[in-house]
Amino acid sequence: MNNRRQFIQLSSWGLLSPLISSAIAPVSMDSESIKAVVSQPEEGETFIVRENTPITIRVSKMKDSVASISLCTEEIQPGGKIPVHKHLHEDEFFIFQKGTGTIEIDAVEYPVKPGTMGFVPRATWHSITNNNSELLIFTFGYSPAGFEDFFKQIGTPKGQPFKPKTPGEIKSIAEKYGMVFKG
């Protein structure tokens, strides 16, 4: 019970922390140069990162000039898994929209279902598993923005023949972005 309570507390504060910190932190940009971004469901750049695993970048540092946060969506096939890893430079958050599975954070496993939210502080081991028979679909993002470009480098643009990277290539690109795989 205590682990669940901690997860919910981290989720709540984690999702709000980028908004709170940007509201109280000194603004380094001219406030007139900051723009709003609205991304419709059919918009965004989609990359296939593992066979049948699309990630769509919806709000990005490069395309939208948003430095504080990025937003993406992902679909994990039944039986699929994101391996245990951590980000050294970004906090990550998740909002699960469809399907069920688990998210593991620092070796503690939590069930996920539509409506579940989660927050993973930087340098924290985590993974996601779809252990059900339907797609697991979720929105996720990073603060600060920038890590979303990792998916452009390891993925194949949607509509092109899938060209998987070798584990060595993925590890090398991950290191460039401050991502470490466990094991």
**Is 36 part of a structural domain of the chain?**
no
**Count of domains forming the chain:** 1
**Is 31 part of a structural domain of the chain?**
no
Mean pLDDT for the stretch of residues 84-97 = 98
State pLDDT tens for residues 7-34.
445 554 455 454 434 443 443 445 556 7
DSSP state of 137: E
* Backbone torsions φ then ψ of 31, nearest 5 degrees: -60, -20
Q: What percent of the chain has pLDDT over 70?
A: 82
The amino acid sitting at 139 is T
Strand partners, 38: none
Check which CATH number belongs to the domain holding 123 and give it: 2.60.120.10
**Is 54 part of a structural domain of the chain?**
yes
> Exposed/middle/buried for 72, CB within 10 Å: 0-12, 13-18, 19+?
buried
- Tell me the C-alpha distance between 11 and 69, whole Å: 16
pLDDT at 37 over 50: yes
Domain that holds residue 145: 2-21+44-181
**Is 33 part of a structural domain of the chain?**
no
Select from 50, 121, 122, 46 the least CA-distant residue to 81: 50
pTM over 0.85: no
Mean pLDDT for the stretch of residues 172-179 = 98
**Is 30 part of a structural domain of the chain?**
no
**Is 128 part of a structural domain of the chain?**
yes
Confidence of residue 183 (pLDDT cuts 50, 70, 90): confident
- Tell me the C-alpha distance between 109 and 106, whole Å: 8
**Is 34 part of a structural domain of the chain?**
no
